[in-house]
Structure formats: structure tokens, C-alpha cells
Amino acid sequence: MRNPLSSVAPQYWKVWSAAAVSNLGDGVMLVAGPLLAATLTRDPVLVAGAAFAQRLPWLLFPLFAGALVDRLDRRRVMGYVDATRCLLIAALGFAVAFDAATLPVLYAVFFFLGTLETLFDNAAQAILPSVVPRRNLEKANGRLYAAEIVANNFVGPPLGGFLFTVFAAAPFLLDAGSFAAAAALILALRGSFKPLRPEDAPPTTLVADIREGLAWLYGHRLLLTLALMLCVMNMMFGATEAILVLFAQERLGLGATGFGVLLTAGAVGGIFGSLIAEKVTDVLGAGRTLLACVALSAAPLVVQALTTNAYVFGAMISIFGAAAVTWNVITVSLRQSIAPEAIFGRVNSAYRLLGWGGISVGALLGGFLARGFGLTAPFWVAAAVLGAMFFMTLPLITNEKLEEARNAA
């Protein structure tokens, strides 16, 4: 059987390879960053501050990032951003090596990394429909998520934990190298990826462009609902993730390497989710599958709050990983299918302002809940909120509504 991606393989696989390489570095940092924060302070709020600093730009800059992505060549945006991230992470690595790393330095580097991420992620999702036929977007996104999960959550975390114990600067320097390699792969793409504007279109301002993207999303009830749901889910995820390193050390009894291995459980579920997302959607329909993802995100949190067994905790992370990736494959493909190409960056940035901005708020919420009520409090609150959202959105997210949106596009 002919591979539906074969006709665009050279372009698509460069994007795929760049994602795999950079996500390996991100996976290493996923462990090394919290471990570095935990060596500098044991205060849950201050540890959570690192995650907050990295996610705060998603509350401040995504709209401007989306407007720029719709004006510039998306290939160049991705390549230059990765080159800049290489320099930032390398600087942090040298600070760690020479015992000059402090919490303010860590916060500053993570804040600038998050700012650059708003540009890169918007450009990465906007460029995919230019290298893959729209009918193959779910398959292409599924393979991208599979690569991201293997590198970011399966290989990277235990490697990051091991390297941190051997030489604390090593994970950061490895991440810098991964960004350099990803930049080279992206800049090797052929052609122009600058959105086309009608020749007779009058010039516009950045603010006017942002307003157009916001208005489009606000007028699309289904995508707006999904964006608000993602905001709530990511807020609860951020609340638990921000204090996870302390939870793993103090309740599960894990060291640096054990913490890295624990995070690979999410990769196991995530790979499963990336492989079955298309098939499950064919059987249940997109709407029912999305609601199932919400339910499967809420239930494991109760078990995590109750257990002190690392294996049980890891199994729950795996279930959550499968639900999260399935949700992402469906909703990203839906946005790429129905949002106009010329304003996709702005629509996507408005969507992610709600979705990813929730992580930064959740990170602080998790830190204060853990400080005031113990390390299990963020898990109980997250389970209650997601359970309530499941029942509230039952009539809003249906197979019929998603199919109508695709047909209308």
C-alpha cells in the first residue's frame, strides 16, 4: 500500500526529524530544569516558579507571535528561533558548570525560552498544511506526536536524570546541541513558506491583524469551546506538574534518575494515543473521543493523590498521556482543517493563549495549594475540576457538531 505521505516525504520528514531532535533535548530539560530548581530551593512555590516563568509568555505574547507568523516566512521563523534557543540553553549550561546558576538566572532563561516557544510552536503548526495534504493531517500529526513522545518523554527524561547526577551542566549543553541540529534541518526546507496575501489587499497593522484572528476564533463557537476546555485541562495539568519533582522525592521516594524514569510512563501512554487516535476517532467519532479524553484525564488524578507507590503513579501518568495525545491529534488537525491558511497563525495563537496560558496560572496554583494543604492537594483539586467539566460539556462537544464544522470549512 502506497504511503500517503510519500509524495511530500522530503519536506515532511525534515520537519519530523527536526521535531524529534529538538524534543530529545526538551525531554532532557523536562527533568533537568525541575531538578536544578529543587537543588536551589525546597519551597514548592519557588520550584513551581520555574514552570511559571516558562509558561508566562503564553499569557503575554502569543497574539503578537501569531500575527508575526502570518507575516513572515514560517521556515525562517522556526530556524532562527531554534538557533537563538541554542544560545540561551548553552549559556545556562555554562552557568551551571561554573556554579553561577541562581533562581533569578533560571527564571530569566526559562522566560525567554517560553517567549521564543510562542513563535516556534505557532509557526510549526502553521507550516504543516503547506507540506502535507489536508486529508493526511491527522496521520502526519500522529507521527509528529509519536516522535515527540518518544524523544521528549521516553528517551529524554531518564537520560536527563542520569546526566544531571553525573555532571549537572550536561543536560543543558545537550539541549543546546539539539536546538542547533533542529535549526539546520528546518532551514534546509526548500521553498518559501510565507503566507500569500492578495495583491490588492490594503496594508494592515499588527494590532488589526491580531483583532482579526481574535474575532474569527470568538465567532467560531466550537473552536472557542475547545480552547476554553484546553485552558481548564492545562491549568490542572500545570498545577500537578509544577510540584511533581517534590511529590516524586518526598512521597514516592525517588531520586533524580527515578524521577526521570517516572516521566517515561507518560510516553508509553502517549505513543499508544498517537497510534490509536485516528482509529478510535473512526469508531467513536471525534466528539465522543474528545469527551472520553476528558474523563480519562480526571480519573487517574484521584489514584495519584491516594498512592505512594511509584509504579501505580506511573500507570496513571500513562493513562493521562494517552488521553492528552489523542486530544491533541484531534484538535490540532481540526484547527488546521477549518481555520483559513492566511490567518491560521493568529487563530492558532488566540486558541493557544487560552490553552497554554492556563499552564502558567496552574503552575502557581499548584505551588500555593501544595504549600498550604500538602503535596496531594493539587491532584484532588484537578480531579474535581476536570470531573465537573466533563459533565458540563456533554451537550457541547458532539460528533455532529465537529462534522458540521469540517463541512462548513
Express each pLDDT in 335-351 by its tens digit.
888 888 778 888 888 88
**pLDDT band at 153; cut points 50, 70, 90:** low
Task: pLDDT band for 232, please (50, 70, 90 cuts).
Answer: very high
Between CA 128 and CA 49 the distance in angstroms is 33
Contact 301, 253 (CB under 8 A): no
pTM beyond cutoff 0.75 = no
CATH number for the domain spanning 86: value is 1.20.1250.20
Q: Is residue 351 part of a domain?
A: yes
The C-alpha cell at 320 is 493521562
Q: Helix 344-373 to helix 206-219 angle, to the nearest 10 degrees?
A: 80
Any domain includes 135: yes
Residue 3 covered by a domain: no
Q: How many CB atoms lie within 10 A of CB 46?
A: 17
Q: Is residue 200 part of a domain?
A: no
User: How many C-beta atoms surround the C-beta of residue 271 within 10 A?
Assistant: 22
| Angle between helical axes of 103-131 and 344-373 (0-180°, round to 10) | 150
Asked whether 260 and 310 are in contact (CB, 8 A), the reply is no
Q: CA torsion sign, 224 to 229 to 152 to 16?
A: negative
Q: What is the DSSP string of 331-377?
A: HHHHHHHHS-GGGHHHHHHHHHHHHHHHHHHHHHHHHHHHHHH-TTH
Asked if residue 357 belongs to a domain, the reply is: yes
Judge whether 194 lies within some domain.
Answer: no
Listed residue (7, 75, 104, 122) closest to 353, CA to CA: 122
Rounded CA separation 383/75 (Å): 40
- Scan for cell 510549526, then name that residue: 124
Q: Rounded to whole angstroms, how far apart are CA atoms 74 and 67?
A: 12
What is the maximum span of the chain, computed from C-alpha positions, in angstroms? Answer: 65
Confidence of residue 303 (pLDDT cuts 50, 70, 90): very high
Q: How many domains is the chain built from? A: 1
pLDDT (0 to 100) of residue 2: 43
> Could you list the residue range(s) of the whole structural domain that residue 260 is in?
9-189+206-408
Q: pLDDT per residue over 100-116, tens digit each?
A: 999 999 999 999 988 98
Contact present, 312 and 262 (Cβ < 8 Å): no
Let me know if residue 385 belongs to a domain.
Answer: yes
**pLDDT confidence of residue 200:** 65
Lowest pLDDT segment from 102-106, 148-152, 265-269: 148-152
Is 197 within a domain? no
